[in-house]
Amino acid sequence: MNSIPRSISSPILSLDPPVPDDVVLVAALMGVPASAERPVEIVAAWREHWDTHGFGTWIIRDEQGARVGFVGLRAGAEFIRLTLRVLEREGGDDLASAALRLVAAHAMEFLPDLPVRIRVAPEDIATRFVAESAGMEHVSDLDHVVDEDEWQVLELPYVRVVDRIPPRAREAMLSMWVGVNDAGGAVGFLPGATAEDVVPVLDGYVARLEQGDSVCVALNSPLGELLGFGFVVGSTGALMAHSATLERVMTDPARRGTNFGALLLAGLHRAARERGLELVTLDYRGGTGLGEFYTRFGYTEVGRVPGAVRVAPGDDRDGVIMARSL
């Protein structure tokens, strides 16, 4: 299996572990000379954290390679603390949001199974918006005061991997599935499918879980609300035992744009990897734009059946198969 990646990138930025020269960025963020002692100490502490834990603070670079800020994950006994700061510049908030979305998915897939939290001052609306765009949610029970300063705490959703589905969870999944259908999601049905239409398919997965060759992966809010789910379905036969298929991957259609799709996909990868799998495949309905989404997360198109999916008379779509090594 592949080792945990140290660098992360997207079309608009790259994230890399710190190097000694990054004291220049830290000094600029602090408003002190690059020769000051504190920036050197901070970068040294970041590098030590990487050596100890295999993750830590990434330096954010824009498309031109310029350092624009940092996003960090610091290990703790009970949770992982997230920090974020960028230089004040045009487009800085957009880069901060994109960086945090990447790191959130990376944490979901590779980091220790601990809550990931960020704290923000109540008046810091910009940072809170960026955190929420990455999928984080305010958990008021965690708010606190330090030296008379008030802090609000936001937390990433968590993934639950199960081999059985309790009745209450089944009802929530059924409701979401119908909602995704009605929103035009390509999860096996057309808009207008009823709960009665979906029940036999959902119960088919429940039976597969009981057989032990598949698991359900649910994305839940910090307070336990279902945000999305999918299934890791094992292959049959000894020659394919190292691979599985991701099926019925869906998130709450009322919360699009909140990074839940990326977080759920990362959780599915994590669940597959923890089951000793090395390769996952999935398929999607052509014309949905999903190919571009999956490509961003390491998938490659490996097969296409022209006209395999008939959405309506005269509207045939390709069935597309993609694969990713874990």
Per-residue pLDDT averaged across 14-21, rounded? 97
Arithmetic mean of pLDDT, 187-207: 91
pLDDT of residue 4: 86
| Segment 184-199 mean pLDDT | 88
pLDDT value for 310: 83
pTM comes to 0.93
pLDDT classification of 91: cutoffs 50, 70, 90: confident
At 88, the amino acid letter reads E
* Contact call for residues 26 and 46 (beta carbons, < 8 A): no
pLDDT given at position 321: 94
pLDDT at position 213, please? 87
Fold observed for domain 159-325 = Aminopeptidase (3.40.630)
DSSP assignment string, 136-171? -EE-GGG-EEETTEEEEEEE--EEEEESS--HHHHH
User: Taking a C-beta distance cutoff of 8 angstroms, is the pair 178, 187 a contact?
Assistant: no
* pLDDT value for 286: 87
* pLDDT interval class at 1 (50, 70, 90): very low
pLDDT in tens, 274-305: 999 999 999 998 888 888 999 999 999 999 99
What's the mean pLDDT when you consider all of the chain?
Answer: 93
**Sorting pLDDT into bands at 50, 70 and 90, what band is 2?**
low
Residue 216: is it exposed, middle or buried by C-beta count within 10 angstroms (0-12/13-18/19+)? buried
User: What topology does CATH give the domain 8-156?
Assistant: Aminopeptidase (3.40.630)
What pLDDT sits at residue 205? 94
In the block, tokens 């059924």 appear at: 174
Structure tokens at 49: 């954290």
Nearest to 60 by CA among 27, 31, 22: 22
Write out the H or E segment, with its range, that includes residue 243.
strand 243-251
Q: What tens digit of pLDDT does each residue of 263-274 get?
A: 999 999 999 999
101-150 pLDDT, tens digit each:
999 999 999 999 999 999 999 999 999 999 999 999 999 999 999 999 99
Confidence of residue 309 (pLDDT cuts 50, 70, 90): confident
pLDDT, mean of residues 182-203: 89
Residue 187 pLDDT greater than 90, yes or no: no
The residues of the chain that CATH labels 3.40.630.30 are 8-156, 159-325
Which residues are CB-contacts of 275 (< 8 A; sequence separation ≥ 6)? 215, 232, 234, 244
Asked if residue 306 lies in contact with residue 318, where contact means CB atoms within 8 angstroms, the answer is: yes
- Residue pair 89/68 in contact by the 8 Å Cβ criterion: yes
